[in-house]
Amino acid sequence: MRLLSTLSAVLLAAATSLAFDPTAYENTQIQRTYELGGAATNVQTVYTVRALKDSLGGYELVLSSPEEDVEDGTNYWEVMQGGKVWESLTVQSLSDGRKTVTIPLEPAPVGGPITFTLSQVLVHHSHPLPASIGQDDEQYLMFETNQTMVESLYSTRKETIKYRYAMRTSPSKKIISHSPAPEKYIQVGANASKKSGGTLTLGPYTSVPPTVSLSSAGVLTREPGFSMSPLKIHYPFEEPVKTIEKLVRLAEVSHWGDNLNVEDHIRLVNTGAHLKGQFSRIQYQMARFRPTFPAQIIRNIIYPLPPHSHSAYYYDVIGNISTSNFRPSHPTRGGPAILELRPRYPILGGWMDEFTVGWDMRLGDWLRSVKGHESQKVLRVPFMTALPGVVVDQAELVITLPEGARDVNVTVPFPVDAIEHSTHKTYLDSIGRPRITIKKRMCVEKHEQDVYVTYTYPFTAQFQKVFTVGIATAVMFAAFALAKRLDVRISKVAKVVG
Amino acid sequence: MSVAYPIPHVSKQTIKNTSALLKFTILGVISAAAIASRLFAVVRHESIIHEFRATKVLAKDGFYEFWNWFDPTAWYPLGRVVGGTVYPGLMVTSGIIYNVLHWLNFPVDIRNVCVMLAPAFAGLTAIATYLFTCEMADESTGLLAAAFMGIVPGYISRSVAGSYDNEAIAIFLLMYTFYLWIRAVKEGSAFWGMLAAVFYGWMVAAWGGYVFITNMIPLHAFVLVLMGRFSHKIYISYSSWYVIGTLASMQVPFVGFLPVRTSEHMAALGVFGLLQLVAFVETVRKLVPGKQFQLLLRAFVIAAFAIALAVLVALTSSGFIAPWTGRFYSLWDTGYAKIHIPIIASVSEHQPTAWPSFFFDLEMLIFLFPAGVYLCFKELRDEHVFIIIYAVLSSYFAGVMVRLMLVITPVVCVTAAMAFSKLLTTYMDPTVPEIDDDAAPVTGDLAVEVEATANKAKGKKPASVDKKVGVVASLKRGIYSLDTRLVVITPLVGALIMFVYHCTWVTSNAYSSPSVVLASRGADGSQHIIDDFREAYYWLRQNTKQDAVVMSWWDYGYQIAGMADRPTLVDNNTWNNTHIATVGKAMSSNEAVAYPILRKHDVDYILVIFGGLLGYSGDDINKFLWMVRISQGVWPEEIQESNYFTNRGEYKVDAQASQTMKDSLMYKMSYYRFAELFGGGQAMDRVRNQVIPNTPIQLDTIEEAFTSENWIVRIYQVKKEDDLGRDLPAVSAFEAGQRLKKSKSAKTTNKKR
């Protein structure tokens, strides 16, 4: 229930001035690793922290630098310790919308080092360079960042930053070039930066003073002496850069059918290097005979579905797309069902495809009744499906509850942009179904978490439709019976003289 | 009276109730069967529908928006006033259904309404046929006719699910209008005449084939008058139908004043006038004594006729009444279209009907058809005259044009059902007369029936039965023993079963494949779907500019508009011959001639269908001669059909193909880089079984933009003028690394060719 507690923490935390002491802690070591990818870049920071004073509040962890535009990025973060997610952390909302996380380190004795890891994701920080390439050319991306230092409210003894390009298909691929690293705070004698194969290392920096400070008004300000200089890294990327511009997931609950139907409307764009010139089918078909197939072309998408999903479908506005394979999960052992989607046409750089994927699931796996209160239900719906390396610019989850559901409550696992309640009328409805719309921008793999909906669904509500249809039929029957017996002729003798 | 087999004793009331229930159930089942057999296409290939954008506008923006809808994306750059140039009946009908369903909280998609409209109306057609036939004969005949109508392939061919066409609802309206007309004639009631007029108005709004009704009903009335059967019933029903119906038809903007200004509608007006005259004469006759009346009548009728004719001729020659249109001439002279309107002749469904297709579409009904017409002659009540006229006219039309098989189908079903039902009732009637040796007279009705059956049965049944029937009938006796009855009934039932099998087979194999999806079966029976059309259309939709103009042959216009959502130059609504000829000219000229045409029409992409790789025979190279012919009709100096043949007069695409053919844009686009696919081997075109020469095809003014997986759809982008002002062949030569001077000489040789 980390999610719940996080949420409540968010709600509870006020943008008040914080009593904190920058000399209470010291980072003995910070190591940050950027995994250079396509649309999403994973960032992992390992902190080793030492308390200098006794119980002076928790360690304040800064999630973003003051210059960064928080509105633009994903606000995903996670703190882990010893391989486990650290739960019940207090989030402080600052007055400018930024957040810091208080990590309760009070019980730690003075001097004892504590290690924890912060995971974050940067989205759309790499762009293709050259911006357009030929159909068979290789794709290169340029990663750009202003952040060559880890933001901290405390001083740091030793700090290393690594930019790593994960080599997948051909390990010989290397980072082509990078701009010079800022030289400040680098120990004399050490290299400013070190490039080896797919990794670029900055630092180690030693004895770094705090990079930011927190004013009493709750505003994060840059400490003087730190100026941000951009760093650019140019690296090969042998995969398509996939971005889902818009994802709308419709989930519909049916108690009668014991079914949870999920339908994803997806607009997928290949945001890698644009295609220079025109697409040549013959070149594409001939590429099969070459050792490396142009990797920046999206040829298929593996779409994992929850266990025991069935009746999957795949279509777009002009009808069914016949090129797909569905592998259901093992009937006894379970495991995810796999939907292999092949778009109608290969999606080259800059091209777009829009389609709908849907499937059915047993409601019993996703819905529980509260013990003792059988009419109270708890529904679990996955917010989205994680596709490796894919960024969803605009995600929307629409949950439609059965007609007659009341007291609807939604619990989200992470902060979202909006939660809206509305009523939806469809087949055989008389009063309409409650509908919940949850919106969030910039989602990544890690947002594949469950949304919980609790609602009351009385037993009698199940018979609402039966009742409606029964009444309608009876009225129709009566009307026909009446019409048949009614004589509307003007005169009984209506014979025309021939 | 003795019976041939025991009949259970039930009260009259029970029989009445049971038969009512049975009728209801059987009709329901027939409608269900009619709907179900039209669903093959949807079940196998899902619902694919291209042209329902107008309906979409109607459903989304309402009726007046649709009425005033100007579609700027069709017939670019002319655009098209859709509301005023279509028969809106189909769209309005589906719009009404859509709105009613939505009002009832059934949020169906308009697309699904469109897909299911044709099967739903086919179910209604079966019921209308039942009602119509009940007026002709009895109810069991009606049920049989409804069953025939429900599954007969001749009607299914134009009403499978997903075929969103005017004919989808038109046949129902045709049958129902006819039913109401017969009802009106029988009852002599203005009410039924008015109802007939209302449905006629709906029909006018729905299909251009309404002219058939416009001429059928007057002809029926006219023939009845000629037969001396004029009565006030006819006068009342015809007058009410004509006046209200004509007013109703004039409400359709596309029809407008045509009912009073074109020759096709003059017959209805003439008969209306004639009926007034005849009624007047009838009235006068009651008042004026016989002898003088004869003289008066003669003078009056001749004068009236002469005056009417003179007026008609004067009006026609002065141009107030339009003469017959070309499309109608092509009905009288089947060769007319080929010479004067190649665009009509280029459509396969406008070709004269081949004999086998009568059997293919109607199976045994076509044999029973004359027998049914004969039965009508036997009785010859007013309504039977109608059937006879209908049969004669539609037989002619069905022979002239494949498409009009649709018109003959209902009357064939009705008459065949009459013949078949007569046979069955005769042989199943359990009454056996007491036979005395001195030939006791059989009850009148039965004798006539037996006789009729016997006459008709000649040459149709096993000889032994035939002989026996003949002998017995001549003795005023019938076949009354069970075994002989079985000998006749068993083959009849067998024929019915065969009919069902045939219909299902034809429906499933011939009429249920959407033209967009091609399906083939692998060696192991697995289905392989070739979805190239949608692949390319969807690519156009997603990855080209919203206003990119696509040029293709008109066959694909609706598909591009519907699936790719892009403006097209020409589409299936072939209202502008010159525009189509322009496209034909661009396709059949060389690049130097075609490029200015393309640029003047803002063409961004050209789409061609090429089946050579896969063996898909409906491709553009096979249609190419029609493009040439149609453009030759407009530019006879520039395009000549003979230039596209080899010296020996063959239509070839291999090395022997004529130079004009090889230079044409269509040839170049179809075979661009095709030979490379075979890596030096023989590049075999699988449709025409000819080897395409290996010499690379050079495209200067256009470039390949997309080719679908199996090469069926190839899309080319038209290059813009060069930024530096060079001409495009020079640019491509420059880019190929040749020196400018060289390229100039190359260009001149190019021109010489």
User: CA-based Rg of chain A, rounded to a whole angstrom?
Assistant: 29
Are A2-236 and A242-461 the same fold in CATH?
Answer: yes
Question: Which secondary-structure segment (H or E) carries B314?
Answer: helix B290-317
Residue % of chain A over a pLDDT of 70: 86
In a domain, B129, yes or no: yes
pLDDT at B462: 44
**B407 lies in the same domain as B460:** yes
CB within 8 Å: B542 and A354: yes
Helix B166-187 and helix B110-136, axial crossing angle in degrees, nearest 10: 30
Q: What is the pLDDT of residues B440-451, one digit of tens each?
A: 444 444 444 444
CB within 8 Å: A351 and B677: no
Residues of B in contact with A316 (CB under 8 A): 538
**B452 lies in the same domain as B388:** yes
CB within 8 Å: B531 and A427: no
Residues of A in contact with B538 (CB under 8 A): 316, 318, 344-345, 353
Q: Which is higher by pLDDT, B360 or B5?
A: B360
Query: Of B529, B422, B357, which Cα lies nearest the Cα of B140?
Result: B422
Reading across the β-sheet that carries A391-400, which strands appear in turn?
A319-320, A310-316, A352-362, A259-270, A242-254, A391-400, A433-443, A418-424
DSSP B95-125: HHHHHHHHHTT----HHHHHHHHHHHHHHHH
**B39 lies in the same domain as B148:** yes
CB within 8 Å: A278 and B542: no
End-to-end, the C-alpha distance of chain A in Å comes to 90
Distance, CA of B206 to CA of B408 (rounded, Å): 19
Q: Which is higher by pLDDT, B709 or A226?
A: B709
Residues of A in contact with B542 (CB under 8 A): 351-354
Q: Which is higher by pLDDT, B321 or B603?
A: B603
- Measure in Å the smallest separation between the Cα of B482 and chain A Cα atoms: 42
pLDDT at A372: 85
What average pLDDT score do residues A218-232 get?
A: 78
**B229 lies in the same domain as B351:** no
Sort A296 into a burial class: Cβ within 10 Å, 0-12 / 13-18 / 19+: buried
**B151 lies in the same domain as B186:** no
Omega of the bond leading into B77 within 30 degrees of 0 (cis): yes
* Nearest neighbour of A322 by CB, restricted to B106, B529, B562: B529
Q: Give, in order, the Cα–Cα distances in Å from B551 to each of B75, B548, B710, B722.
A: 10, 10, 21, 21
In a domain, B727, yes or no: no
Q: Give, in order, the Cα–Cα distances in Å from B630 to each of A252, B334, B352, B585, B642.
A: 55, 18, 20, 8, 14
All structural domains of chain A with their residue ranges: 2-236, 242-461
pLDDT at B480: 74
Distance, CA of B393 to CA of B400 (rounded, Å): 11
pLDDT at A493: 55
pLDDT at A186: 56
Q: What is the pLDDT of residues A429-454, one digit of tens each?
A: 888 899 999 999 999 988 999 999 99
Omega of the bond leading into A104 within 30 degrees of 0 (cis): no
Residues of A in contact with B680 (CB under 8 A): none
pLDDT at A205: 82
Q: What is the pLDDT of residues B220-260, one digit of tens each?
A: 999 999 898 889 999 999 999 999 999 999 998 888 888 88
What average pLDDT score do residues B527-541 get?
A: 90
- Measure in Å the smallest separation between the Cα of A343 and chain B Cα atoms: 9
Distance, CA of B377 to CA of B373 (rounded, Å): 7
pLDDT at A14: 39
**B299 lies in the same domain as B375:** no
HEC per residue, B573-632: CCCCHHHHHHHHHHHHCCHHHHHHHHHHCCEEEEEEECCCCCCCCCCHHHHHHHHHHHHH
Q: Residue A329: which residues within 8 A CB-CB, separation 6 or more?
A: A307, A308, A309, A335, A336, A337
* Nearest neighbour of B232 by CB, restricted to A279, A316, A496: A496
**B319 lies in the same domain as B351:** no
Distance, CA of B393 to CA of B378 (rounded, Å): 20
Q: Which residue has the tokens 């005979």?
A: A289
CATH level 2 (architecture), domain A2-236: Sandwich (2.60)
Q: What is the pTM of this model?
A: 0.86
What average pLDDT score do residues A170-194 get?
A: 66
* Nearest neighbour of A425 by CB, restricted to B105, B542, B703: B105
pLDDT higher than 90, residue A55: no
Distance, CA of B175 to CA of B394 (rounded, Å): 14
pLDDT higher than 50, residue B461: no
What average pLDDT score do residues B386-391 get?
A: 95
Distance, CA of A36 to CA of A161 (rounded, Å): 13
Distance, CA of B624 to CA of A288 (rounded, Å): 34
What average pLDDT score do residues A201-222 get?
A: 80
pLDDT at A492: 60
pLDDT at B477: 58
**B198 lies in the same domain as B79:** no
* DSSP letter, residue B656: T
Residues of A in contact with B711 (CB under 8 A): 281
What part of B 55-114 touches A (C-beta under 8 Å)?
105-107
Parallel, antiparallel, or unpaired: how do β-strands A242-254 and A156-165 relate? unpaired
**B498 lies in the same domain as B547:** no
pLDDT higher than 70, residue B414: yes
Residues of A in contact with B735 (CB under 8 A): none
Sort B3 into a burial class: Cβ within 10 Å, 0-12 / 13-18 / 19+: exposed
Distance, CA of B150 to CA of B142 (rounded, Å): 12
Q: What's the residue count for chain A?
A: 498
pLDDT at B717: 94
Range with lowest mean pLDDT among A252-261, B44-53, B142-151: B44-53
CB within 8 Å: A352 and B535: no
- Measure in Å the smallest separation between the Cα of B78 and chain A Cα atoms: 27
Cβ atoms of B569 and B598 closer than 8 Å? no
**B601 lies in the same domain as B699:** yes
Chain A: residue nearest B717 by CA? A278
pLDDT higher than 70, residue B744: no
End-to-end, the C-alpha distance of chain B in Å comes to 94
pLDDT averaged over chain B?
A: 85
Q: Residue B244: which residues within 8 A CB-CB, separation 6 or more?
A: B193, B194, B197, B198, B201
Sort A85 into a burial class: Cβ within 10 Å, 0-12 / 13-18 / 19+: exposed
pLDDT at B196: 96
Parallel, antiparallel, or unpaired: how do β-strands A231-236 and A84-85 relate? unpaired
Other C-beta atoms within 10 Å of B657: how many? 21
CA A94 to chain centre: 23
pLDDT at A203: 74
pLDDT at B352: 85
Cβ atoms of B74 and B573 closer than 8 Å? yes
B696-717 burial: b if 16+ Cβ within 10 Å, else e: ebebbbbebbbbbbbbbbbbbb
- Measure in Å the smallest separation between the Cα of B386 and chain A Cα atoms: 19
CB within 8 Å: B708 and A281: yes
Q: How does residue B505 score in pLDDT terms, banded at 50, 70 and 90? A: very high
pLDDT higher than 50, residue A54: yes
CB within 8 Å: A280 and B543: no
pLDDT higher than 80, residue B745: no
Omega of the bond leading into A180 within 30 degrees of 0 (cis): no
* Nearest neighbour of B539 by CB, restricted to A345, A427, A430: A345
Distance, CA of B556 to CA of B543 (rounded, Å): 19
CB within 8 Å: A319 and B48: yes
Residue A78, strand partner residues: A119
- State which of B109, B130, B164 marks the end of a domain: B164
pLDDT higher than 80, residue A88: no
Q: Which is higher by pLDDT, A204 or B229?
A: B229
- Measure in Å the smallest separation between the Cα of B384 and chain A Cα atoms: 19
CB within 8 Å: B542 and A425: no
Residues of A in contact with B106 (CB under 8 A): 427-428
Residue % of chain B over a pLDDT of 70: 91
DSSP A167-223: --S-TT----EEPPPP-TTBPTTS-SEEEETTEEEEEEEEEEPPSEEE-TTS-EEEP
Chain B: residue nearest A282 by CA? B677
DSSP A59-123: EEEE-S-TTS-TTTS---EEEEETTEEPPSPEEEEPTTS-EEEEE--TTSPTT--EEEEEEEEEE
Distance, CA of B738 to CA of B691 (rounded, Å): 30
In a domain, B752, yes or no: no
Q: What region, left, alpha or beta, does residue B175 occupy, with left being phi > 0 and alpha being psi -120 to 50 degrees?
A: alpha
CATH of the domain at B585: 3.40.50.12610
Residue A261, strand partner residues: A252, A360
CATH number of A242-461: 2.60.40.1730
Residue range of the domain that includes B353: 331-509
Q: Which structure tokens are listed for B221? A: 């009335």
pLDDT higher than 70, residue A306: yes
Distance, CA of B562 to CA of A318 (rounded, Å): 8
Q: What is the pLDDT of residues B300-326, one digit of tens each?
A: 878 888 888 888 888 888 877 777 776
pLDDT at A16: 40
Q: Which residue has the tokens 């059915």?
A: A360
Q: What is the pLDDT of residues B255-269, one digit of tens each?
A: 888 888 888 888 899
Chain A: residue nearest B190 by CA? A496
**B433 lies in the same domain as B455:** yes
Q: How many domains does chain B have?
A: 4
Q: Residue B34: which residues within 8 A CB-CB, separation 6 or more?
A: B119, B122, B123, B125, B126, B149, B150, B151
In a domain, B521, yes or no: no
pLDDT higher than 70, residue A188: no
Q: What's the residue count for chain B?
A: 753
Query: Of A11, A47, A14, A9, which Cα lies nearest the Cα of A31?
Result: A47
pLDDT averaged over chain A?
A: 83
**B154 lies in the same domain as B208:** no
Q: Give, in order, the Cα–Cα distances in Å from A49 to each of A59, A62, A79, B594.
A: 9, 14, 14, 75
Distance, CA of A435 to CA of A419 (rounded, Å): 10
pLDDT at A183: 61
CB within 8 Å: A498 and B542: no
- State which of B164, B190, B215 marks the end of a domain: B164
* Nearest neighbour of B188 by CB, restricted to A282, A321, A496: A496
Q: Which residue has the tokens 């017995």?
A: B472
pLDDT higher than 70, residue A109: no
What part of B 222-241 touches A (C-beta under 8 Å)?
231-233, 236
What average pLDDT score do residues A128-141 get?
A: 90
Q: Which structure tokens are listed for B373? A: 């017409």
pLDDT higher than 50, residue A470: yes
- Measure in Å the smallest separation between the Cα of A473 and chain B Cα atoms: 13
pLDDT higher than 70, residue B624: yes
Q: How many Cα neighbours within 13 Å face the side chain of B552?
A: 32
pLDDT higher than 90, residue A476: yes
